Amino acid sequence: MKRYILHRVYLLLPTLLGALTLVFFLIHLIPGDPIEVMLGETASAADKEDLRRTLGLNQPVASQYKSFLNALAHGNLGQSLYEQASVADLIRARLPATIELTLCAMAVALLISFPLATLASVNKDTWIDRFALLFSLLGLSMPNFWLGPLLMIVFSIQLGWAPVSGRGGLSHLFLPSFTLGMGMAAIMTRILRSSLLRVIHEDYVRTARAKGLSEKRVWLKHVLRNALLSVITIMSLQFGGLLAGSIITETIFSWPGIGRLTVQAIQTRDYPLVQGCVLIIAISYLLVNFFTDIFYHLVDPRITYGR
C-alpha cells in the first residue's frame, strides 16, 4: 500500500505539469491582447509597448513559459495583470466560496440520490422505480446554464423565496447548490440503483437473511456497503464535474468563487490568474481521485494494490 501511495504521488507532478503546460499555451493562442483590455483600444502604441515590456509580454512565448515554471518552482503564482494583485491572494479569497458551494451541491446530490435509489431498488418495477428512472433522465437532460436561470425565475423572481445572486446565508446557497447538484444526483441515483439490484441477489445477502438478521441490518451492513464502491467511483469523477460546472453556476448566480474568477480572468486575458485557477482545479481533481483509491481499501479491505 505504501509503495502504491508513493507511486501515485510521483504521478501527480507530471500530470499537473501537463495540465499547466496545455493551459499556458492555449491561453496565449486565444485571440485578444491583455494590454488592449487594460489600456483600451484608444491608447497609443508607445503606451501599449511600454506596458507590454513592463509585464514581460514582449518576450517570446517560450521565454515566458520558462519564467512561469521557474516562478512556480519557487511557489510564486505571479501577479494578476488586470487586478494588479497577487494571484495567490486572489485565489485564497475566492476558494472558500467554491468549496462551500461544491460541498453543498454534493450534499444535495447525496440527500436526493441515496433515498431515491434505495426506494427504487426495494420497489423494483413499481411507480417509485419508474419515478426514480424518470428523475434520473430529466436530471441528466437539464444543463446548468438552463436549469439555473429557470430556478432563478421561479424561486427568486416569481416566488421571492431566495436571493437572485450573491453569497450570504443559507438562502443564497439554495439555488446554486441545487443547480450544481442536480446532475450529480441523477447520475448517482441510476448507478446506485443498479448496484443495489445487483448486490441484493448475491449469496451472502441470502445467507444474512437465512441467519435471521433484520431487513434493516441486511441492507445497511451487507447490501448498501457492498454497493458503495461504484458510487464512490462516480462521486470522485463527478467532483471534477462539480468544479467544472461551478464555472457556469457561479457565473449565473454571481457567486464569488474560483469558477467566476476563472471566467473573468479569461475575459481579460489575465494569463497568470487563469493559470493559477487551473492549477487549483487540477490539484483538487487529482487529490480527490487519490484519496478515493485510498478510501476503496477502507470500504472493502479485500481490495489491495500491487504497487
Is residue 125 left, alpha or beta, with left meaning phi > 0 and alpha meaning psi from -120 to 50?
left
- Give start and end residues of each alpha helix (H) in the chain: 2-29, 34-39, 45-55, 61-73, 87-122, 127-141, 144-151, 170-199, 203-210, 215-217, 224-252, 258-267, 271-299
Cα 224 to Cα 238: distance, rounded to the nearest angstrom: 20
**What's the pLDDT score for residue 256?**
85
79: β partners = 86
Q: How far apart, in Å, are the Cα atoms of 265 and each of 12, 116, 278?
A: 25, 40, 11
pLDDT, one tens digit per residue, over 132-178 is 888 888 888 888 788 888 888 888 888 878 887 778 777 888 888 88
State the pLDDT confidence band at 68, using cuts at 50, 70 and 90.
confident
The separation between CA 79 and the C-alpha centre of its own chain, rounded to angstroms, equals 25
90 or 283: which leads in pLDDT:
90
pLDDT, one tens digit per residue, over 279-306 is 888 788 777 777 777 766 666 656 555 5
Is residue 185 left, alpha or beta, with left meaning phi > 0 and alpha meaning psi from -120 to 50?
alpha
**What's the pLDDT score for residue 94?**
87
**What's the pLDDT score for residue 241?**
65
| Number of Cβ atoms within 10 Å of the Cβ of 4 | 15
Q: Residue 79 — φ and ψ, nearest 5°? A: -115, 135
Q: What 8-state DSSP symbol labels residue 126? A: S
Domains belonging to the chain, first-starting first, are 2-73 (no CATH), 91-299 (1.10.3720.10)
**What's the pLDDT score for residue 222?**
67
The separation between CA 120 and the C-alpha centre of its own chain, rounded to angstroms, equals 27
Q: At what angle do helices 271-299 and 258-267 cross, to 10 degrees?
A: 150
What is the pTM for the complete model shown? 0.77
Q: What is the mean pLDDT of residues 83-94?
A: 85
**What's the pLDDT score for residue 298?**
65
Residue 51 has pLDDT above 80, yes or no: no
Of 29, 40, 102, nearest to 250 by C-alpha is 102
**What's the pLDDT score for residue 4?**
65
Contact 273, 86 (CB under 8 A): no
pLDDT, one tens digit per residue, over 195-235 is 877 777 777 777 777 777 776 677 766 677 677 777 777 77
Q: What is the mean pLDDT of residues 271-277?
A: 83
**What's the pLDDT score for residue 37?**
66
Of 269, 305, 255, nearest to 98 by C-alpha is 255
Of 203, 228, 193, 38, nearest to 123 by C-alpha is 193
Of 280, 279, 245, nearest to 139 by C-alpha is 245
pLDDT, one tens digit per residue, over 168-193 is 777 888 888 888 888 888 888 888 88
